[in-house]
Amino acid sequence: MGNAAHGATTVVEVRNVSKRYGASGRKGSEASVTQALDRVSFAVAKGEFVAIMGPSGSGKSTLLNCLATIDAPSSGQIVIGGRTVTDLRGRQLSDFRRDDLGFIFQDANLLDTLTAYENIALALTIQRVSSHEIDGRVREAARALGIEDVLEKRPFQMSGGQRQRVAAARATVTRPHLVLADEPTGALDSRSAAALLESLEGLNARGATILMVTHDAVSASYCGRVIFIKDGRLFGELRRRGADRSAFRHRIVEVVASMNDAEEEGGLGAAAHAVQGEAVMLHAR
Amino acid sequence: MLAKIAFGNVRKSVSDFGVYFLTVMLGVAVFYAFNSMTAQQGVLAFSETQEKMFDLLGMVIGGVSAFVALVLVFLVVYANRFLIRRRKKEFGLYLMMGMRVSDVVKIVALESLIVGAASLAAGLVLGFALSQLLLYVTSALFQADVAEAAGFSFVFSADALAQTAAVFVAVFAIAAVLNARTVAKAKLIELLHADRVGEDMRLRSLPLSIMLFAASLAIIGVSYKLLVDNGLTEPSPQFAAATVLVFVGTVLFFYALSGFLLRLVQAVRPLYLRGLNMFTLRQLGSKVNTTFASLSIVCLVLFLAITSVCGGIGIRNALVGSIEASTAYSATVSTNFGAYTSETGYVPVDLGEFGAFAEEQGYDAAAGLRASVRALGAGDFDALVEGAAQVDLLVDPDDGLTMGDVEDASGLVLTDFAGSSVNDGYGVYPVYMMRLSQVNAALELAGKPSISLEEGECAVFSDSDITRGFYERAVELGTTLDVNGHALKLASFHGDTLQTTPVPMNTGAIVVSDDVVPENAAIVQTMLNVQCATDADEAAFGEMMEVVADTSEPDTWPITMSFTRADVLEQSIGLSTVVAYLAIYLGFVLVVACAAILAIQQLSEASDSAPRYGLLRKLGAPEGMVSGSIFMQVLVYFLFPLALAVAHSCCALTVVTDVVAVFGHLDIAETALMCAACFLVVYGAYFAVTFFGARKLAFASE
């Protein structure tokens, strides 16, 4: 479509990615095959903050896993930072995850035996970054996320929001090409969630490219762009284009509602038609 | 209903219960096999003396079993606790669903009962097999005393069975009570979040960590010093203090270890901030509150095992080694004619008419015995004896050479060489003389090269480790002794035993040319060594000598002691082999138990930590790096208890060596090497199994 890149450097390019689960390779056994992703294509430019939205079962988690190189698509290509990750194997994959990706999980996923400082530093020591460089970078990341005062605490001594910000610091301290966030606010109360999202905005303002999966319109409204996905297919996308956050949230909620309507209408043909209609409608605005 | 759930749980988590099952089963098997040792008495053909020794052994086993039972209680409670901890969340779920606490306690108790009964039964079956195997090993070691009952004979000890069952029922009861307490006391929220609450590692400051660690080393050092200085000769308050201190020091060592390591490495930033080092150290530290106790016990048990195995093999080797050296002749018949110390002078033994007969025979033992045997009609001396050589221990009744004289002449002090194993006042004890011609004849009879002395020279014989070093040094120094007015230089040292005896106790006798021996020299002891052509002749000779020794017929040769080679072998090898065998057996069982504890602990920890390893992999840590971290963790767990136990053992064994020196030479270096090799094989195998198992568990989540 060409409307994603806008001339800036493309960090992520998803080309025609499909993922099928089940008894693959046997013709005529369609019933036992689940089509989790169906020819999904999009691109993310450097410095973007993108949300991927969709109801549960839409395939957004599968898409994230494929981007995270934890899962491999059945067909299609994913290019991140100029490397075709779908061609990487074994050792190259873990090296790629280590050097080019940052992760923020739903439940922080910090190591409970380590302090916040150590959790952040771990991402660097795994990369074998030289030790005298580590301290400065950890403190810088902590400052950016406002967690300097909890650095010596262990995860169970912190609040959920603090834990998620430590996770965000860990994900960004390595300066990855892409930060992947999987429902980062899912386990947080609204105030902590807002604080975290503001932190992510801040990180984005400092140049981090962030791709966030969420089903929450409020979270998505912090992003610059929202990609909607339903039944494994791209449903459409919304761009903020400098709009006010609450206005943007409103538009997001509208699209989510229309997705649900399509669901209720039932019938594959009708849904597909609706998808086309929405996409056109959205782009027309 | 509850029983159904309990059965279901056991079936479902059979792998979790497997660890528990295996531990209890091995414990039961070992306990039974060990306690049924005394039942072997009924099957093995022992001589009367060995029978008595085996009774004594039964008592020893009783004492050791109390200790083994304690170890087993710990093992079972430990394995059980591990199991409960892993299942806290499950119990929380039962309570959530509205089950009563008492019901959950019942489920846990039922589960323990099911697994306990199964493992007790399996353990007893394994124990029967093990004790059977043990019987054949024992009888094989007693070459001369193989079981009389030909073929298969089944040893079954009802006592041991009852004892084992009683001990383990008690152990299960304790474990069940502890479990019930854990479940009943726990709050629902804690149970549900059991997997989330990381143990809070009480981190101490760097100086305090180092101080605690240093204190533990200091305490251990003090206990070593107490032990080495006071020896093992008798129970003393110092020995008790050393025991308590080594225990306290060991516990403190493991309590402070992980904190110390963490703080130490943290102080070296480049090392701390490298790869997964900080993760590894935190992993080690996170379990310190639960592991320091078990690591201490593992260390102390390993210490006991190493010491008993090294000591056991060493004592056996020393005895067997000295037996070869002290059975150079088919038989030795000895007669004591007197005693001498510099305080009392020469005191003759009143042998009455027998003494007169000996004098009549010119103190020629062979002639005297030949005549005695003929007179008693006990047999034909010359038909049984192929060769004979007499050695007399002589002393100048006016001015005998004493240990004190040798010390003065050489400038050496015996206690510098022999340590605490010599009695005070040894200075007045005599150093006897032997005639060169007699010694050479005896050496020749044993098939050994004879010795020659230049004018003004003498040689020294000693077969005791107490004086060996002393005399060797004296020879090196070229010490000159005053013997009957002759200045004789000590030219050579010889360790040969010039008789057949169960206890070689010649602490030093000098060999001089026949012409140096004074006219009035008195015989302290006469030894007649004989060689017989066959074992049958040897046995017949022994019986013949008994007749002579027992007779009251006046015209016969006086006999103080008479030993054949077979007598010596029976008396010495039997007991020492059993004792050594038990020590080795107990030692290896303990080592295996220790390795098993460490393995269980590490495997359970690896499975607890599986999500952490999964996260590390998600963060992009290469497989090799994660494996390296697991390797380090397992290594620390296996290496530190072993290292400290080896240090404890080295200290204890130096003390044991002093004690054993009385019996013969204890070659601790060779023994230690042998044991080290065996231990490394067993321990290394467990280490490898644990490492690969832990790695598999860690990567299972991918």
DSSP string, B135-183: HHHHHHHSGGG--SS-S------HHHHHHHHHHHHHHHHHHHHHHHHHH
* pLDDT score for B130: 77
Count interface pairs A-B at CB distance under 8 A. Answer: 87
User: What is the model's pTM?
Assistant: 0.67
User: Region A34-61: what's the mean pLDDT?
Assistant: 87
CB B351 within 8 A of CB B358: yes
- The residue of chain A nearest to residue B273, with distances taken between CA atoms, is A131
Rounded Cα–Cα distance for residues A16 and B304 (Å): 68
Cβ contacts (< 8 Å) between A97 and chain B: which residues?
618-620
Contacts of A121 in chain B (CB under 8 A): 273, 278
Tokens of B689: 């199994």
Q: How close is the nearest chain B Cα to the Cα of A114, in Å?
A: 6
In angstroms, rounded to a whole number, what is the distance separating the alpha carbons of residues A102 and A119?
A: 13
| Strand partners of residue A13 | A43, A79
Residues of A in contact with B621 (CB under 8 A): 94, 98, 126
Distances from the Cα of B440 to the Cα of B436, B510, B634, angstroms: 6, 13, 62
Q: Report the residue from B200, B286, B620 with minimal CB separation from A126.
A: B620
In this complex, is the C-beta atom of B625 within 8 Å of any C-beta atom belonging to chain A? Answer: yes
- Give the model confidence (pLDDT) of B356-368 as tens digits: 888 888 889 888 8
Q: Cβ contact (<8 Å) for B619 and A97?
A: yes
Q: Cα–Cα–Cα angle for B348, B354, B356, nearest 5°? A: 70
Q: Which of B200, B274, B620 shows the shortest C-beta gap to A97?
A: B620
As a whole number, the mean pLDDT across chain A is 81
Chain B residue with Cα closest to A96: B620
Cβ–Cβ contact B273 with A under 8 A: yes
Model pLDDT, residue B87: 73
pLDDT, greater one: B111 or A28: B111
**Within an 8 Å CB–CB cutoff, is residue B274 touching chain A?**
yes
- Are B274 and A94 an interchain contact pair (Cβ–Cβ within 8 Å)? no
Report yes or no: B285 at the A interface, CB cutoff 8 Å: yes
A-chain CB neighbours of B274 within 8 Å are 125, 128, 131
Distance between CA atoms of residues B540 and B542, nearest Å: 5
The b/e string for A163-191 (b: 16+ C-beta within 10 A; e otherwise) is bbbbbbbbbbbbebbbbbbbbbbbbbeee
Q: Average pLDDT of chain B? A: 79
ipTM associated with this complex: 0.77
User: What is the tens place of the pLDDT at every residue in B54-103?
Assistant: 666 666 666 667 777 777 777 777 767 767 766 777 777 787 787 888 88
Query: What is the phi/psi pair of residue A36, to 5°?
Result: -80, -40
Are A156 and B276 a contacting pair at CB < 8 A? Answer: no
Helix-, strand-, coil-residue percentages of chain A, each rounded to 5: 45, 20, 35
Is any Cβ of chain A less than 8 angstroms from the Cβ of B195? no
Contact at 8 Å (CB) between B319 and B575?
Answer: no
Closest CA to A103 of A13, A52, A176, A16: A176
What is the average pLDDT across B483-501?
87
Mean pLDDT of B431-440: 91
pLDDT classification of A4: cutoffs 50, 70, 90: very low
**CB B643 within 8 Å of CB B298:** no
- How many angstroms away from the CA of B182 is the closest CA of chain A? 23
Query: Residue B506: phi, psi to the nearest 5?
Result: -80, 105
Which pLDDT score is estimated for A210? 92
A80: phi then psi, degrees, rounded to nearest 5: -125, 125
Pairwise CB contact (< 8 Å): A113 & B283: yes
- Phi first, then psi, for residue B433 (nearest 5°) are -105, 150
Distances (CA, A) of A112 to A156, A193, B610, B637, B644: 7, 21, 13, 21, 30
d(CA A44, CA A15): 12
In this prediction, residue B45 carries a pLDDT of: 58
Q: Is any Cβ of chain A less than 8 angstroms from the Cβ of B275?
A: yes
- Find the residue in B nearest to A170 (Cα): B619
pLDDT in tens, B437-471: 999 999 999 888 989 888 889 999 988 777 888 88
Rounded to the nearest 5°, which phi and psi values hold at B435? -80, 135
DSSP string of B185-205, one letter each residue: HS-HHHHHTTTT-PPP--PPP
Is the CB of B275 less than 8 angstroms away from the CB of A128?
yes
B273 → closest Cβ in A96, A131, A170: A131
Between B633 and B6, where is the model more confident? B633
Per-residue pLDDT at A273: 42
Q: Which residue has the tokens 């004086």?
A: B467
Which among B397, B383, B387, B386 is positioned nearest to B348, based on CA atoms? B397
CA-nearest residue to A122 within chain B is B276
- In tens, the pLDDT along B670-693 reads 655 666 676 677 778 778 878 887
What strands lie across the sheet with A83-84, from one edge to the other? Answer: A34-45, A10-21, A75-80, A83-84
Phi first, then psi, for residue A2 (nearest 5°) are 80, 0
Other Cβ atoms closer than 10 A to B350: 8
- Cβ density class B57-69: b for 16+ within 10 Å, e for less: beeebeebbeebb
Question: How far is Cα of residue B189 from the mean position of the Cα atoms in its chain?
Answer: 51
Measuring CA to CA, which residue among A58, A166, A177, A66 is closest to residue A122? A166
Sequence-ordered list of residues with C-beta below 8 angstroms from that of B53, at least 6 positions apart, any chain? B574, B575, B578
- Angle at which helix B2-12 crosses helix B14-35, to 10 degrees, equals 90
What single-letter amino acid sits at B326?
A: S
Q: Alpha helices, DSSP H only, in B361-425? A: 365-376, 381-384, 403-410, 414-418
Which residues of A are less than 8 Å from B618 in CB distance?
A: 68, 70, 97, 103, 109
Q: What is the pLDDT of residues B506-541, one digit of tens each?
A: 888 999 998 888 888 888 899 999 999 888 888 889
How many other CB atoms sit within 10 Å of the CB of residue A234?
A: 23
Nearest residue, CB atoms, A114 vs list B197, B278, B623: B278
**Which pLDDT score, from 0 to 100, does residue A56 have?**
79
Task: Kindly state the percentage of chain B with pLDDT values over 70.
Answer: 78
Q: pLDDT per residue over A135-146, tens digit each?
A: 899 998 888 888
User: What one-letter code names the amino acid at B87?
Assistant: R
- Which helix (H) or strand (E) element contains residue A233? strand A233-239
**In this predicted model, which residue has the larger pLDDT, B622 or B183?**
B622
pLDDT above 70: residue A237:
yes
Q: Map B498-530 to HEC letters.
A: CCCCCCCCCCCEEEECHHHCCCCCEEEEEEEEE
Alpha helical stretches, state H, chain A = 60-67, 90-100, 116-126, 131-145, 160-172, 190-205, 217-220, 245-265, 268-284
pLDDT classification of B14: cutoffs 50, 70, 90 = low
Domain edges within chain A: 10-284
Give the CATH number of domain A10-284; options: 3.40.720.10, 3.40.50.300, 3.90.1170.50, 3.40.50.720: 3.40.50.300
Q: What is the mean pLDDT of residues B329-353?
A: 84
In this prediction, residues A105-117 reach a mean pLDDT of 84
> B615, A111: Cβ pair inside 8 Å?
yes
**Measuring CA to CA, which residue among B160, B128, B167 is closest to residue B29?**
B128
CA neighbor of B416 nearest in space, from B431, B429, B426: B426
Q: How many residues comprise chain B?
A: 702
pLDDT band of residue A272 (cuts 50, 70, 90) is very low
pLDDT digits (tens, 9 = 90+) for A181-194: 988 888 788 888 88
In terms of average pLDDT, the best of A117-131, A257-271, B133-147, B422-436 is A117-131
Which residue do the tokens 């303002």 mark? A205
**Between chains, do A98 and B620 touch, taking CB under 8 Å as contact?**
yes
